């Protein structure tokens, strides 16, 4: 079947199960797509076509005898190199291979393997996930495929994840989100992204950045695909087909809150207008739209600007597990990690308590709305230059995580869906934020919104570097 990657994941899974499509043929299409588009885009740090073929053959052999291991059987998947995957080394974006203890599958990867998904390889990332720009001093920076002339940021820290979807080498991409790192690359590359409530999915088998904030997540070509993957991987659900059947056909009666101006006032290149048009379309389709302030976002962003929690928690992890790694850390990150040793326990605990208090207050904001809507990212992906100073690097980072990191600090769950292009032709995302613990409801609402607004492929088309 030509261009299987144009089909929804649920339809592909159904065709595989019925024997009308072969997992090996799907893997070969993924491999061909990567060979065609991938050399410049740099989605993968470890590209594994032979491993993918073996996975696909195992899926086909199981299908042939009527065995269904799970909804993701035969589905091409990319995995961020922060995840341990047996048979693959783990570098976590660093220049050295981590010890063997970081190469054993955690529950999420184990579930993927048990379902006989096709693992295409491990994707590029920011070193130890500490940063959102997508840059990596050791390996170079992946290229956002939406600009064929300028090397723009693909978002990070899961920098290769969204690109693997754009080039057609994966249908589902594993990422992690500590302050933005699933939703940011998803939005910047025109894909859907899902950050679950902290604790919903285990972080076992994932190299730590922040034990307080780390959350596994997924990126997909559409929210329907993300929902299918979410249900297939979630221990409480386990069936992508059943979950999608339960998604409402309309947004009629869904209560959407418009976030306060803090989330909008710095939008550039028509980003805010594109998001407001999408919200207006949802209102015309029956959604109930009202104002929904979230002042706690300002509070935790101020906390983030003070240094937050990630730097000191990463430093503690390195001191305990990889004590000689600090010498080779990316130069733009090294000062922050070295300075973290000067943070007192009193100040660290004060920040933690301030965060918990803000999260408690924020949870009460969802009594009159189902979700709060914001632009996912207020800024067009910046052009990556080798001359950028550490201060310029961190200014870009602060800008692009502005609307994203509050959800992590406030214990909320969020999704992003593409809604258009900005004036420079780069993707624009709509972020939907829900109360912590409302993950299934959030995903259902985001899917319903996508049914009204259209899929990314319908709205955006293909990235310029992945056409023809």
Per-residue confidence at 388, pLDDT binned at 50, 70, 90?
A: low
Catalytic residue among 181, 187, 222, 310: 181
Per-residue confidence at 390, pLDDT binned at 50, 70, 90?
A: confident
Residue 468 has pLDDT above 80, yes or no: no
For the beta sheet containing 44-47, the strands, ordered from the edge strand earlier in sequence to the opposite edge, are 44-47, 118-123, 76-80, 172-176, 216-220, 192-195, 413-421, 427-434, 371-375, 255-258, 288-291
Question: For residue 219, which of 152, 159, 131 has the smallest C-alpha distance?
Answer: 159
Span 255-308, pLDDT tens digits: 999 999 999 999 999 999 999 999 999 999 999 999 999 999 999 999 999 999
Residue 238 has pLDDT above 90, yes or no: no
Per-residue confidence at 349, pLDDT binned at 50, 70, 90?
A: very high
- The CA distances from residue 179 to 146, 401, 450, in Å, are 24, 7, 24
Predicted local distance difference test score (pLDDT) of residue 394: 80
Mind giving me the DSSP string for 90-103? Answer: --TTSSSPPPGGGG
Q: At what angle do helices 296-305 and 345-363 cross, to 10 degrees?
A: 160
Q: Which residue has the higher pLDDT, 271 or 388?
A: 271
**435 in active site:** no
* 4-466: CATH, from 3.90.1300.10, 3.40.50.1820, 3.40.50.300, 3.20.20.70: 3.90.1300.10
Distance CA 311, CA 410 (A): 18
**80 in active site:** yes
Residue 105 has pLDDT above 70, yes or no: yes
The conformation of residue 207, written as its DSSP 8-state character, comes to -
**157 in active site:** yes
Predicted local distance difference test score (pLDDT) of residue 408: 98
Catalytic residue among 80, 122, 195, 435: 80
Distance CA 92, CA 84 (A): 9
Contact status, residue 275 vs residue 419, Cβ threshold 8 Å: yes
Catalytic residue among 157, 164, 222, 310: 157
Residue 2 has pLDDT above 60, yes or no: no
Span 309-335, pLDDT tens digits: 999 999 999 999 999 999 999 988 898
Q: Which residues contact 221 (CB under 8 A, 6 or more apart)?
A: 9, 165, 171, 191, 192, 455, 456, 457
Task: List the structure tokens of 381.
Answer: 């992906």
The answer to whether the bond into 157 is cis (omega within 30° of 0) is yes
Percent of the chain with pLDDT over 70: 99
What's the average model confidence in pLDDT over 128-137? Answer: 94
Which residues partner with 420 through β-bridges? 428
Question: For residue 171, which of 380, 26, 379, 332 has the smallest C-alpha distance?
Answer: 26
What's the average model confidence in pLDDT over 215-229? Answer: 98
Give the phi and the psi of residue 227 in degrees, each rounded to 5: -65, -40
Residue 1 has pLDDT above 50, yes or no: no
Contacts of 244-250 with C-beta under 8 Å, sequence gap 24+, read 244/10, 244/447, 246/444, 247/444, 247/447, 247/448, 247/451, 248/444, 248/448, 249/448, 249/451, 250/285, 250/286, 250/448, 250/451, 250/452
Element counts in the chain: helices (H) and strands (E)? 17, 11
Residue 391 has pLDDT above 80, yes or no: no
């Amino acid at each position: 079947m030509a261009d299987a990657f144009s089909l929804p994941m649920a339809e592909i899974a159904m065709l595989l199960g019925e024997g009308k499509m072969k997992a090996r043929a799907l893997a070969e299409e993924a491999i061909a797509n990567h060979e065609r588009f991938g050399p410049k885009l740099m989605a993968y740090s470890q590209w594994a076509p032979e491993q993918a073929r073996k996975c696909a053959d195992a899926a086909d052999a199981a299908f042939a005898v009527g065995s269904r291991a799970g909804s993701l059987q035969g589905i091409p998947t990319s995995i961020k190199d922060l995840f341990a995957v047996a048979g693959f080394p783990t570098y976590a974006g660093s220049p050295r291979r981590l010890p063997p203890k970081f190469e054993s599958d955690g529950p999420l990867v184990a579930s993927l393997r048990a379902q006989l998904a096709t693992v295409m390889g491990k994707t590029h990332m920011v070193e130890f996930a500490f940063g959102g720009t997508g840059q990596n001093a050791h390996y170079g920076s992946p290229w956002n495929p939406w600009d064929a002339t300028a090397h723009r940021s693909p978002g990070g820290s899961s920098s290769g994840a969204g690109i693997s979807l754009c080039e057609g080498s994966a249908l589902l991409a594993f990422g992690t989100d500590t302050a933005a790192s699933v939703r940011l690359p998803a939005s910047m590359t025109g894909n859907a992204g899902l950050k679950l409530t902290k604790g919903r999915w285990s972080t076992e088998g994932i190299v730590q950045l922040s034990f307080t904030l780390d959350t596994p997540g997924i990126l997909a070509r559409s929210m329907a695909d993300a929902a299918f993957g979410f249900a297939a991987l979630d221990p409480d659900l386990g069936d992508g087909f059943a979950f999608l059947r339960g998604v409402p056909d309309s947004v009629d009666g869904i209560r959407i809150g418009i976030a306060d101006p803090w989330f909008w006032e710095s939008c550039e290149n028509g980003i805010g207008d594109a998001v407001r048009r999408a919200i207006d379309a949802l209102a015309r389709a029956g959604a109930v739209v009202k104002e929904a302030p979230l002042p706690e976002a300002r509070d935790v962003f101020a906390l983030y600007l003070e240094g937050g929690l990630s730097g000191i928690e990463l430093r503690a992890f390195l001191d305990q597990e990889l004590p000689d790694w600090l010498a080779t850390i990316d130069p733009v990150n090294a000062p922050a990690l070295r300075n973290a040793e000067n943070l007192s326990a009193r100040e660290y605990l004060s920040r933690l308590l301030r965060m918990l208090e803000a999260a408690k207050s924020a949870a009460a904001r969802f009594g009159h709305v189902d979700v709060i809507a914001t632009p996912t990212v207020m800024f067009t992906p910046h052009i990556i230059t080798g001359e950028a100073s550490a201060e310029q690097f961190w200014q870009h980072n602060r800008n692009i995580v502005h609307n994203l990191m509050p959800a992590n600090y406030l214990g909320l769950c969020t999704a992003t869906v593409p809604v258009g292009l900005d004036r420079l032709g780069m993707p624009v995302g709509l972020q939907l934020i829900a109360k912590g613990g409302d993950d299934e409801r959030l995903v259902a609402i985001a899917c319903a919104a996508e049914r009204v607004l259209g899929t990314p492929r319908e709205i955006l088309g293909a990235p310029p570097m992945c056409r023809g």
